[in-house]
Amino acid sequence: MTKKTYLSILVDNHEGVLTRIASLFRQRGFNIDSLTVSETNDSTLSRVTIGMTGDEEEVKQIVNQTKKLYEYEGMFEIDPNDSLIRELLLVKVAANEHIRSSLLELATIYKAKIIDVSDGSMVFELTGKPIKLDSYIENLKPYTILEMCRTGATALQRGKVRMTK
């Protein structure tokens, strides 16, 4: 049975590491649904958060292959029930004076911020769980979405985390 899985991987912070991780997925024919990378509080390490859809065997295969990387420092599967998972969405919507109030109402419901109002458009910023962003986008479909940009998910486990080496 396939399911959405998030992996949090700590790696040495230097060039080429992300390419090697992405190659692991490509070589096995797996798709990366979501990807974020950033330096951690320790500048020698980066955290790679990968969202993938796969069955238990596929996740196990990626985990085992990732552990073989020279730059690998630790990893854990993020438990969605005990984690903070967030994404960022920027969306530009065509907006004349007749529909701005309904877009504002929708933004208020989802707690989206208006970050730009121009002649003929509005830009909204929304952060939250991926399902919240999906729902907001679905509710914007009756309007004209001019541009949209969405980050990958980033996540932290609540409480103490035990990285596997």
Enter the pTM of the model. 0.82
Asked which of 34-38, 109-113, 133-137 is least confident by mean pLDDT, the reply is: 34-38
- Average pLDDT on 115-134 reads 96
Contacts of residue 17, Cβ cutoff 8 Å, sequence gap at least 6: 11, 46, 48, 69, 71
Kindly state the tokens that stand for 5: 């899985």
What's the whole-number mean pLDDT along residues 52-77? 90
Give the DSSP letter string of 18-60: HHHHHHHHHHHT--EEEEEEEE-SSTTEEEEEEEEEE-HHHHH
Q: Give 71's Cβ-side CA count (13 Å radius).
A: 18
The radius of gyration of the chain's CA atoms, rounded to the nearest angstrom, is 19
Q: Which CATH number fits domain 84-154: 3.40.50.11290, 3.40.228.10, 3.30.70.1150, 3.40.50.2300?
A: 3.30.70.1150
Structure confidence by residue, pLDDT tens digits, 43-61 = 999 999 999 998 899 999 9
Every domain of the chain and the residues it spans: 3-78, 84-154
Average pLDDT value for the chain: 92
Residue % of the chain over a pLDDT of 90: 75
- The number of angstroms, rounded, from the C-alpha of 86 to the middle of its chain's C-alpha atoms is 7
Q: Check: CB of residue 10 under 8 Å from CB of residue 47.
A: yes
Architecture of domain 3-78: 2-Layer Sandwich (3.30)
